[in-house]
Structure 1
Amino acid sequence: MKDSTTPRRPRKAAMAAMSVLLVLLLALNAAAAVLVPPNYSMINNFFNQGPSEAETAQAGADSAEMTREIASEGIILLENRDGALPLDRGTRVNLFGYGSRDTVYGGSGSGSGDSSGNVTMVQGLRNAGFEVNQELADFYDARFKERTGVGYTGNNFDINEPPVGEYSAELLGNARDFSDVALVVISRLGGEGADLPMEMGQAESEVGTSGSATSIGVQGGDAGKHYLELQQVEIEMLDMVKENFATVVVLLNCANAMELGFLEDTDIDAALWLGCLGSTGCDAVGGVLSGAVNPSGRTTSTFAYAVESAPSYYSFGDYDYTNATYTNTSPIAPASEPDNYHYVDYVEGIYVGYRYYETAAADGYIDYDATVQYPFGYGRSYTAFEQEISAFRDDGAAVSMDVTVTNTGSAAGRDVVQVYYTAPYTPGGIEKSHVVLAGFGKTGPLEPGESETVNVSFTYEDMASYDYSGVKLQGGAYVLEAGDYEIKLMGNSHEVIDSRTVSVARDAVYRDGFDGPRSTDGAAAVNRFDDATWGEDVTYVSRADWAGTMPARRAPRSREAKAEIVSALTADEYANDPGDPDITYADHGLTLADMGGLAYEDPQWEKLLEQVSVEEMTNLLSNGGWCTETVASVGKPYCTEVDGPNGINNIMAGVTGNQYTGQSVLGCTWNRELAGRMGETYAREAAAYHISGLYAPGLNIFRSPFSGRNYEYFSEDGFHTGKMAAAEIQGIQSQGVYCYAKHFAVNDSETNRDQGGLCTWVNEQAMREVYLRGFELAVKEGGSKGMMAAFNRLGTTNCAESYQLLTEVLRDEWGFRGAVVTDCIMQLSYVNADRCVRAGCDLQLALMNLNAVSEETAGTTTGRQAMRGSTHNILYMVANSGALEISKAPAPVWLFIAVGADAVLLGLCAFYFVRRHQRMKRWKTARTADAPGGDRA
């Protein structure tokens, strides 16, 4: 029997507990070994809530002030009968319309933001000095409904306007007693994942959704109507207001071009287009209504009386191939049933927006005044301006026009100068729009009687048309045809102020063997998308035969794909040449910090790239989801990248910054200098959050007013888009933040965009003159270092896998140097990383190796050469930015927790085993002393 002095033997239970701790320690370290190196950025983004409030307060305040300035310049005065606006400061106003409570500040999806702290419509009016009827505001508060289903890729189009029966006689009587002025807010929502309903009476499955879009709400709408016209409940509300109030002002809170014929009712005294207002845009609304701000915005869409008048209307929406299917096998969102491949035909060719309406009217095909309510470039002011051509220079290669603008009215204000050209056209020849925007500028604030001269310059090359069909030369080329070109100073796309004429003596063909490439091109443009142009039997609209080519009804919802299309959609090929030399490896002691400012072709790059292993390249290329990963061999840190065009939206961490106006409002300012300053301000806020790259700006086109994402694009015109985007990109990148212009290319609708890859059939002239033009200017003038490939396909080729798009056009023709990333493809299986890297798409916007390059690439000489090229592109983008400094954020909290947990577990295990060893030693000593013949003290 042991006495009290005998040491106890260590217990098995304690040993088991310590074993569990040891297993946890080993598991923690194993998880760190597996997860952290390839996904450090992802983990950091997910757990890191950003810098302290003190770090971002000033940047956020600057961004909020910039939002107010953009909204002030982007709001458009559509109507102002008898000088109804501005209203006197201190005026009592009644605020009607459900949109006064459910105001649209932005759209849904990656371009969305946090609206919870935004200035409301009521606050904005009060901040401008107006008294607002609180009883009426309470009425809408009591009827507010949260829009369900509005998420990252979803939307809700319910019309929640209260019926007129809910406005009591007492409420209306009190409102009349309060004021004879009524402001009526009409709102429409848009966003990622779903286009706007073209039929309010159809069920969700008939509307046509895309991706994970959910809750397509059409409650409260009228069967037989679309979302962009007033619904009966809104008509009745507006009639009620007109009957009860002397002054009625309509405020259109919508990014998309609505049918606005109702504004011609003389009982409506004024109307403002507001767009999506962002954090402080409602302050701008109050400022415009009070006259503190003179509206100077101009439309970037053509507002037709009926949307059905546009040719694109007849080929927009949900179209399926009946004999071509695929099954999504992504581990994130695998499909249980196969889905049909989808398609869309860009039947209108180049005749998008004003290019159609102005040309069809010039040819006598339509009655312009009966068809178009507000032209592209339209907007009114509280003052009056005169514009005149004060100087005109033509040196045979370029045109330069000086326009003197004089404020002839009684209030200070800004004006927009717009210059268009009319090119010579031969029926049956190269398609030409009657007018094409050639340049624009905006004055500063002009006092009454004050003048300013605005210069607009462009080259002859800029007036060349793309001949895709071989009118002048088979195989395609830009052609400047001989003849007279009218250079027009215009108030908008329809109203000519003055003009000059330049004459071109002979055809200039910009192709090798003729006049060579355009001066801004590295390689001559030739047909590179014949498969998308002629892969389907699409009849494109032609001004040579309006009646014979103009669609007259909506296209059928489905058709059978030709055998060659089915074959191309199911092809799975890789370009591997066993004769390609392998890459070499060497340690030259270089770091990425040594490469800043070096040309892309500098030999030092090859030395740096030789230091990067295949494993590092695989990790870098495969895990580009909201980051670029660490490359330890060259000292590249992780770099955080976030959405989007309208403000910081770090969906991984749930961190948002200031919510800017919709990018469409920035477009309506027609102010490139302001776009540049916006870019600078936005980038400084991003840098304060230690964000190195932005998925912005958005450069797709308002092909249709029903496109869900028009709120985050600039315009229906590619040139206007490119000029505004180039200025914004210059501003962003001047602060060391790089940006990915998106979505490259021809991704102008949401329906089916990511469902098996939407097959887009479009002719190459339309691509180059309309849909690619903005991206071209973003590269050539903006110097964009990044580009995001679109979800859709050009013909049957996914944009992220198109060598023609990403290498031949983007890099060889335009001279792009930088990185291309896919759109978010984590839930998709049809985007192939091996084909991407060979085509010139460098990064997979995915995490955890969900779409990694395979041994077909990492294990072949051809593949490794392509991987090295992509690594060069990514590292070049990062080195020529401020990312190395911006990325120096404090170590994230999660890392301290992980290391701390590791240390605690290790300490507990060490403490236990030391104590156990001591106890075991004492126990053994005691046992030895108790044994027969032992020496016990």
Structure 2
Amino acid sequence: MEKKASAPVRRPRKAAMAVMCVVLALLLAVNAAAAVLIPPNVTMINNFFNKGPSEAETSEAGEASAAMTEEVASEGIILLDNKNGALPLAQGSKVNLFGYGSRDTVYGGSGSGSGDESNNVTMAQGLTNAGFEVNQELVDFYDDHFVERTGVGYTGNNFDINEPPVSEYSDELLANAKAFSDVALVVISRLGGEGADLPLDMTPSESEVGSSGAATSVGVKGGDAGKHYLELQQVEIDMLNMVKENFGTVVVLVNSANAMELGFLEEDDVDAALWLGCLGSTGCNALGQILSGEVNPSGRTTSTFAYAVESAPSYYSFGDYDYSNVTYTNTSPISANTEPDAYHYVDYVEGIYVGYRYYETAAADGFIDYDETVQYPFGYGLSYTTFTQEIADFRDDGTTVAMDVTVTNTGDAAGKDVVQVYYTAPYTPGGIEKSHVVLSGFGKTGILQPGESETVTISFTYEDMASYDYTGVKAQGGAYVLEQGEYEIKLMNNSHDVIDSRTVTVAQDVIYNDANDGPRSTDAVAAVNLFDDVTWGEDVTYVSRADWAGTMPTQRAPQSREASAEIVSALTDTSVPSDPEAADITFADNGLTLADMKGLDYDDPQWDKLLEQISVEEMTNLIANGGWCTQAVPSVGKAYYTETDGPNGINNIMAGVTGTQYTGQSVLGCTWNQELAGRMGTTFAQEAIAYNISGLYAPGLNIFRSPFSGRNYEYFSEDGLHTGKMAAAEIQGIQSQGVYCYSKHFAVNDQETNRDQGGLCTWLNEQAMREVYLKGFELAVKEGHSQGMMAAFNRLGTTNCAESPELLTQVLRNEWGFRGTVITDCIMQLSYVDADRCVRAGCDLQLALMGLSSPGEETTGTPDGRQAMRSATHNILYMTANSAAEDIAQPYVPYWLYITAGVVDVVLLGLCVAYFVRRHQKMKAWKAANTANK
């Protein structure tokens, strides 16, 4: 018998090799896709997969941030009322916690400024940590009635009132609570956040709330028809009445960043009240310490609390307004809505009369009864002790005013006090609009023991008291004007109550323009009217103290109107400005790296040499893909740098990584403590460094134009100077650690409704813009030296803020001397912000990824476009070179490794294929041999 050919040996590895082939084939497909997708998106990919340092590496920084959050809350919480010394409570006493907000506490807001709240100190924990004994039965009751809020996200909110009806409180529960303690703490909470303003109408509805444009017009669950969100709803009134009827000491805790209507606090059976704002990770510890008297409250309001919000002129033109005759279609490939939508608008009819500027001025002119209209003035707050303030010295050299104020603790408890100085400028009816009082400076003492004194010095310049004359009363074409006359310099307890005053006299008008007295000392060029199209582009009647009755609105504006032909033309114009005479850029290899630029002036010739090394392709990638990062630029040795939200703590939405949740920035504003804001900034930056974060989208500098603005929790104040001083201090602290800031949202982005729906057309006069809405940003640049700026979603008139050369180049850079980077707000789902127009206007970075907003041929293929790209690249690199970004940057998988992995995959796949081909050949030969032997 002839011997048969032996069959090839079957080994287990054959199946494994088959699986490997499949896997390698898939990897090859991934790498093929990566060859296309990765080059512009290396940073995005690494941000998704690199979760940053370990918890052990960040714990120390996190602990410091938690301690800082507690300190900010301890100085930002405001004692609103304290009848008969009801507070502080006896240490170690028993307390009942009432109100759904005691369980569903507002620690922050929704949106990019939100944070991880899962490990925050709760109210019950904070009170327990302060030595109180908390009624656990009530805590369990609210746990049992907890309702998860749906619809809360990065661009939405949920305004349901989930307070249990009084019928849910059993007789046994109340009897046990009364037996436990005669003290009741009642929590009233209101939520705010990005993408949705607070509802003006609480008519119950099953409709989902939260999308831009919706919150002002749809109802929510648990509300009362005809009421707005900032009023107590009936279910809350019933609960509060139940508590007042059953307990001897009732303390209300207002857990809301937005100024509510609080007239009910004046009722005799409400003994005390604290404003808490958004408490952050550890603010509840501070609450417990204040209630126990371990900490003396020293916060002051940064909003005017009116008895009725309808008393403010801004109420009548805040919200959802549509043009009826012009639409747009969002063509972004990742947009959730590609249906035609109306363009929107909002009129800032109040002009400069925002917040206290309206109430104090209207009262001084006899238009309103102040005491019947205002409950708590701007700058108001009580203490457990008493203070006196006296002007110890007053200096006036004709250029600068300085006031030394001696503050003495005349009470029985240690505490801090706030010094506030305002001025009253001369006003001529029909002349330049003037607020009756304007904040000119403020300071805060350290802790003063009973009988102890401290002197606080407040100083400012004459030119700080100048008003902007946009109508040409004294300066044709607009200018800052310091009018002749007497200026009262007032030491005040708040915006309404005067302690003492002095007078300075200006002998003649000072007009800060080139034709007269030159620019203000802090301006590089004189300010002139640059926004006439915004001031006069719509037929808006602005409130004027020359005719209160004739200009003050009395009813909500109609929900729509026709846009003029000029507005329609401007909104539908997609042309890109061009300069056919521009010279092209040049390229050269000069052997420089970004590290060589550190410390060099912006105009140093070395920058030109460095920029010559960077290709158009690199510039395009850098400019177009600035979402939560700046891209690597290999030709000059720049690595990629991670940037994150936000004003209230680290929130890396790309990697799903969050740091410590700080209090809402509004609570920091209520401390009135610039030194604390600086230290908070330093601590914040140190935590960012621990997470390898080089830049922060912070702080927020928009204004409390209305208490209904969803994002007020992220902002400081209704006053531009207060905002700017606090922000400048925080920015200095952050940037002292080498982390750069993008101050946001520049500018006049003071409502969420329609902010990103086609670009909200914002109409206001230039005086209001410069004196109120731009003031905080101006101080952030001039005093805080902010290295970055984030352009707002909305439009100034018809021009997107990110495409406005008047805003981003003429005001920001030319007037104020800003040197650094301007980035868009997140435009990934938007198509009406044009990168070609942005880069020419002075907006350097697109907050987008995957090339979704990239300069086109009009820019990359033209000399003037390439010049604009080089300027943008200069601005980005100048900001990053003068930071610690290179030291902070985390390692990442570079593109060449992805390519190497692809090559390895191809080789391995080839070996696998060769193996199976060889196996197949052997098997075929064996079969042939076996057949021949039969």
Q: Give your verdict on TM over 0.5.
A: yes
8 Å contact from structure 2 (residues 389, 405) kept in 1: yes
Flag the 1:879–1:204 CA change in 2: closer, same or farther, 3 A: farther
Which of 648, 658, 661 is the matching residue for 1:659? 661
Q: Deviations over 1:141-196 (max 9, x none)?
A: 11000000011111011111111111111111111111111100000000001100
| Equivalent residue number for residue 935 of structure 1 | none
| Equivalent residue number for residue 272 of structure 2 | 270
Question: How far off its partner does 1:32 sit?
Answer: 3.0
Asked if 1:296 is matched to 2:273, the reply is no
| Equivalent residue number for residue 109 of structure 1 | 111
Letter in structure 2 aligned against 1:858: T
Q: Hey, what's the Cα distance between the residues in 1 that align with 2:416 and 2:706?
A: 29
Question: How far off its partner does 1:54 sit?
Answer: 1.2
Question: How far off its partner does 1:929 sit?
Answer: 13
Question: How far off its partner does 1:830 sit?
Answer: 0.6
8 Å contact from structure 1 (residues 208, 751) kept in 2: no
What aligned pairs does 1:592-741 form with structure 2 within 5 A after superposition?
Answer: 592-741=594-743
| Equivalent residue number for residue 351 of structure 1 | 353
Q: Hey, what's the Cα distance between the residues in 1 that align with 2:818 and 2:209?
A: 39
Asked if 1:746 is matched to 2:765, the reply is no
| Equivalent residue number for residue 488 of structure 2 | 486
Flag the 1:876–1:213 CA change in 2: closer, same or farther, 3 A: farther
Q: Hey, what's the Cα distance between the residues in 2 that align with 1:784 and 1:68?
A: 26
8 Å contact from structure 1 (residues 110, 192) kept in 2: yes
| Equivalent residue number for residue 240 of structure 1 | 242
Q: Hey, what's the Cα distance between the residues in 1 that align with 2:599 and 2:237?
A: 60
Q: Hey, what's the Cα distance between the residues in 1 that align with 2:651 and 2:345?
A: 31
Asked if 1:125 is matched to 2:112, the reply is no
Flag the 1:207–1:536 CA change in 2: closer, same or farther, 3 A: farther
Flag the 1:137–1:205 CA change in 2: closer, same or farther, 3 A: closer
| Equivalent residue number for residue 905 of structure 2 | 905
Asked if 1:867 is matched to 2:869, the reply is yes
Which of 536, 546, 549 is the matching residue for 1:547? 549
Q: Deviations over 1:402-422 (max 9, x none)?
A: 101000111000000000000
| Equivalent residue number for residue 32 of structure 2 | 30
| Equivalent residue number for residue 509 of structure 2 | 507
Question: How far off its partner does 1:28 sit?
Answer: 3.4
Asked if 1:284 is matched to 2:286, the reply is yes
8 Å contact from structure 1 (residues 726, 778) kept in 2: yes
Question: How far off its partner does 1:36 sit?
Answer: 2.2
8 Å contact from structure 1 (residues 107, 190) kept in 2: yes
8 Å contact from structure 1 (residues 330, 827) kept in 2: yes
| Equivalent residue number for residue 524 of structure 1 | 526
| Equivalent residue number for residue 151 of structure 1 | 153
Letter in structure 1 aligned against 2:643: E
Partner-residue secondary structure (3-state), 1:38: coil
Asked if 1:70 is matched to 2:58, the reply is no
Asked if 1:4 is matched to 2:2, the reply is no
| Equivalent residue number for residue 792 of structure 1 | 794
Indicate the larger mover: 227-236 or 906-915. Answer: 906-915
Asked if 1:764 is matched to 2:736, the reply is no
Partner-residue secondary structure (3-state), 2:38: helix
Asked if 1:257 is matched to 2:259, the reply is yes
Indicate the larger mover: 553-562 or 194-203. Answer: 194-203
Runs (4+) of structure 1 exceeding 4 A deviation are: 5-23, 202-209, 211-217, 894-904, 913-930
8 Å contact from structure 1 (residues 154, 213) kept in 2: no
8 Å contact from structure 1 (residues 154, 216) kept in 2: no
Q: Hey, what's the Cα distance between the residues in 2 that align with 1:463 and 1:213?
A: 38
Partner-residue secondary structure (3-state), 1:37: coil
Question: How far off its partner does 1:212 sit?
Answer: 9.7
Flag the 1:922–1:359 CA change in 2: closer, same or farther, 3 A: same
Q: Hey, what's the Cα distance between the residues in 2 that align with 1:915 and 1:661?
A: 63
What aligned pairs does 1:336-375 form with structure 2 within 5 A after superposition?
Answer: 336-375=338-377
Which of 446, 468, 471 is the matching residue for 1:469? 471
8 Å contact from structure 2 (residues 827, 833) kept in 1: yes
| Equivalent residue number for residue 196 of structure 1 | 198
Q: Deviations over 1:503-554 (max 9, x none)?
A: 0011111011211111100111000011110000000000000000000100
8 Å contact from structure 2 (residues 200, 216) kept in 1: no
Q: Deviations over 1:857-890 (max 9, x none)?
A: 1011110000000000000110010000000x24
| Equivalent residue number for residue 314 of structure 2 | 312
Q: Deviations over 1:757-780 (max 9, x none)?
A: 000000000000000000000000
Flag the 1:891–1:850 CA change in 2: closer, same or farther, 3 A: closer
Which of 79, 82, 93 is the matching residue for 1:91? 93
Question: How far off its partner does 1:653 sit?
Answer: 1.1
8 Å contact from structure 2 (residues 431, 473) kept in 1: yes
Question: How far off its partner does 1:335 sit?
Answer: 3.3
Question: How far off its partner does 1:919 sit?
Answer: 6.9
8 Å contact from structure 2 (residues 420, 442) kept in 1: yes
8 Å contact from structure 2 (residues 209, 220) kept in 1: no
Q: Deviations over 1:173-231 (max 9, x none)?
A: 11111111110000000000110011101658798941798997611111011100111
| Equivalent residue number for residue 562 of structure 1 | 564
What aligned pairs does 1:23-62 form with structure 2 within 5 A after superposition?
Answer: 23-62=25-64
Letter in structure 1 aligned against 2:407: V
Partner-residue secondary structure (3-state), 1:817: coil
Identical columns (%): 78
Q: Hey, what's the Cα distance between the residues in 2 that align with 1:903 and 1:327?
A: 43
Q: Deviations over 1:542-569 (max 9, x none)?
A: 0000000000100000111111101100
Letter in structure 2 aligned against 1:32: A
8 Å contact from structure 2 (residues 199, 216) kept in 1: no
Question: How far off its partner does 1:25 sit?
Answer: 4.8
Asked if 1:227 is matched to 2:229, the reply is yes
Flag the 1:929–1:150 CA change in 2: closer, same or farther, 3 A: closer
Q: Hey, what's the Cα distance between the residues in 2 that align with 1:540 and 1:777?
A: 26
Question: How far off its partner does 1:697 sit?
Answer: 0.4
Q: Hey, what's the Cα distance between the residues in 1 that align with 2:206 and 2:30?
A: 46
| Equivalent residue number for residue 783 of structure 2 | 781
Flag the 1:815–1:2 CA change in 2: closer, same or farther, 3 A: farther
Letter in structure 2 aligned against 1:73: E
Letter in structure 2 aligned against 1:769: E
Question: How far off its partner does 1:427 sit?
Answer: 0.3
| Structure 2 residue ranges without an equivalent (≥5) | none
Flag the 1:614–1:520 CA change in 2: closer, same or farther, 3 A: same
Question: How far off its partner does 1:5 sit?
Answer: 5.2
Partner-residue secondary structure (3-state), 2:40: helix
What aligned pairs does 1:158-197 form with structure 2 within 5 A after superposition?
Answer: 158-197=160-199
Letter in structure 1 aligned against 2:869: M
8 Å contact from structure 1 (residues 78, 272) kept in 2: yes
Flag the 1:170–1:537 CA change in 2: closer, same or farther, 3 A: same
Partner-residue secondary structure (3-state), 2:161: coil
Q: Deviations over 1:300-341 (max 9, x none)?
A: 000000000000000001000000111111111153421110
8 Å contact from structure 2 (residues 199, 219) kept in 1: no
8 Å contact from structure 2 (residues 204, 222) kept in 1: no
Question: How far off its partner does 1:3 sit?
Answer: 3.6
TM-score normalised over the length of structure 2? 0.96
Q: CA RMSD in A?
A: 2.6
Q: Deviations over 1:437-462 (max 9, x none)?
A: 00000000000010000010100010
Q: Hey, what's the Cα distance between the residues in 1 that align with 2:300 and 2:670?
A: 5
Question: How far off its partner does 1:821 sit?
Answer: 0.6
Q: Hey, what's the Cα distance between the residues in 2 that align with 1:214 and 1:843?
A: 32
Q: Hey, what's the Cα distance between the residues in 1 that align with 2:450 and 2:235?
A: 44
TM-score normalised over the length of structure 1? 0.96
Q: Deviations over 1:582-603 (max 9, x none)?
A: 1000011111111111111010
